[in-house]
Amino acid sequence: MSEIEDKIREIAKKLLEEGKVKYFIGYAKGSDAFCAKPIIIDDPKDVDKLIWSPCCVNNLAVYLVDEIKKKPRRGEEPDLRPVGIIAKACDERGITVLLQENILPRERAYIIGIPCSGMAEPQKLEKLAGEKGISHKAIYDMHIREEENEFSFEAEGVKEALPRDEVLADKCKECFQHNPKECDIVIGESVENPQIEKYVTIKELEDMSLEDREKFWEKIFERCIRCNACKEVCPLCYCEECTVEKAKPMRWCSKSVDKSNNAFYHLMRAMHLVGRCIDCGECERVCPMGIPLRKLYKKLEKEAEELYGYEAGSSSEDVPLFAAFTNDDPDEFE
């Protein structure tokens, strides 16, 4: 792990010193040990803040959209240099969708891909730390590492292995593509993609009757507080004005927080993510109310695959699902 970290710092330093990138988006140590936080640096002196650990879960591609949306100040020449960005395989798929949809010009990002065989889920780490009775003070100084495919933590002078299965993020357990493709440079060895059975986690829901499924989601959506975190962390939710915010000439979605409007919000989002969601799992990770959003998107991922043989973000050369049409497309409504 630390080799990767050193390499990240070295590359970032070089890119920034040579002025090849406008700034660099990476990970820094979070305020507690469980989750690293995104950091944007433009000074080569700051590269030592960059880290690489099993806690680097955030999808940084969301900041590329920020960059593209930036408007230069009046009279100022826009700085069109690329932005350096660290991308795990899932993050890279997000970037690929941005490329496919002509949101991001390829030359605006310098992508540093890191093959990844899974990240730890912050909530699971926190739970485990609680069970192990790690003191609050130690939580801040704790180090979580990956060495030779094993997770471990070090706190208060004690080093202990972390059972991979217990702490691995759910999305990583279902990941079948560990290696980023659309990169300017790759750090680390490529990892073998696992043979996994896709879509097992949604099987239970699929087997439910329509009524039960409706009840399931209704109960869950009722909990939603519409903080919009799911759409704000999503690199592919980049609309200038979201339907839920649109108030002129009319409101499509009331500000009233109830199961009907909440369901509208989530289903609208889901429909807009068919064939686009790359399962980075950020929406589910950040949801304070524990809404299992990945289940919703996973189902749509399955539909896109089964009906059109389409896999989101697999190549920047692919025509986006909604922009493609062939005479062989299934047409159930005929």
Partner 1 sequence: MDDMVLKKEKLSEWSNELSGYKLIAPSKEDDVVIFKETANLNMASLDYANSVKPPKEVFFPQTQELFRFEKTPEVKVSEGKKQTEKVLLFGVRPCDARSLLILDKLFYWDSEDPFYRQARDNTVIVGLACTSPHHNCYCTSVGGKPYSNEGLDVLMTDLGDRFFVEVITKKGEEVIRRPNELFLTATSEDKTLRDEIWEKAESEITKHVDVEGVHDKLGELFDSQYWEKKAQTCVGCGICSFLCPTCHCFDITDEDCGTCGRRIRTWDTCMIPEYTVHASGYNPRPGKKNRLKNRVFHKFRYFPDRFDVIACVGCGRCISKCPVGIDIVETLKEVKEQEEVKD
Return residues touching partner 1 (CB under 8 A).
30-32, 35-40, 58, 62-63, 123, 135-137, 139-140, 220, 223, 225-229, 232-233, 245, 247, 251, 254-258, 282, 285-286, 288-290, 292
Rounded least distance, CB 85 to partner 1, Å: 13
Rounded least distance, CB 288 to partner 1, Å: 5
Neighbours of 304 (CB within 10 A): 20
Residue 251 vs 302, nearer CB to partner 1: 251
* Exposure on the CB side of residue 41, measured as CA atoms within 13 A: 25
Distance CA 152, CA 150 (A): 6
Residue 196 vs 208, nearer CB to partner 1: 208
> Which residues contact residue 142 at a Cβ distance below 8 angstroms, ignoring those fewer than 6 apart?
33, 129, 134, 153, 154, 155
Rounded least distance, CB 228 to partner 1, Å: 5
Rounded least distance, CB 201 to partner 1, Å: 15
Distance CA 244, CA 3 (A): 45
Contact in structure between 161 and 144 (CB atoms under 8 Å): no
Residue 105 vs 288, nearer CB to partner 1: 288
Distance CA 117, CA 111 (A): 18
Residue 45 vs 198, nearer CB to partner 1: 45
Rounded least distance, CB 13 to partner 1, Å: 19
Distance CA 182, CA 99 (A): 10
Residue 83 vs 304, nearer CB to partner 1: 83
Residue 62 vs 277, nearer CB to partner 1: 62
Distance CA 237, CA 228 (A): 11
Distance CA 53, CA 151 (A): 9
Residue 1 vs 139, nearer CB to partner 1: 139
Residue 257 vs 323, nearer CB to partner 1: 257
Rounded least distance, CB 223 to partner 1, Å: 7
Rounded least distance, CB 101 to partner 1, Å: 20
Q: 18 exposed, middle or buried (CB, 10 Å; 0-12, 13-18, 19+)?
A: exposed
> Which residues contact residue 179 at a Cβ distance below 8 angstroms, ignoring those fewer than 6 apart?
89, 113, 115, 190, 191, 193
Rounded least distance, CB 186 to partner 1, Å: 24
Contact in structure between 288 and 227 (CB atoms under 8 Å): yes
Q: Provide the sign of the torsion angle of the four alpha carbons 222, 223, 226, 228, taken in this order.
A: negative
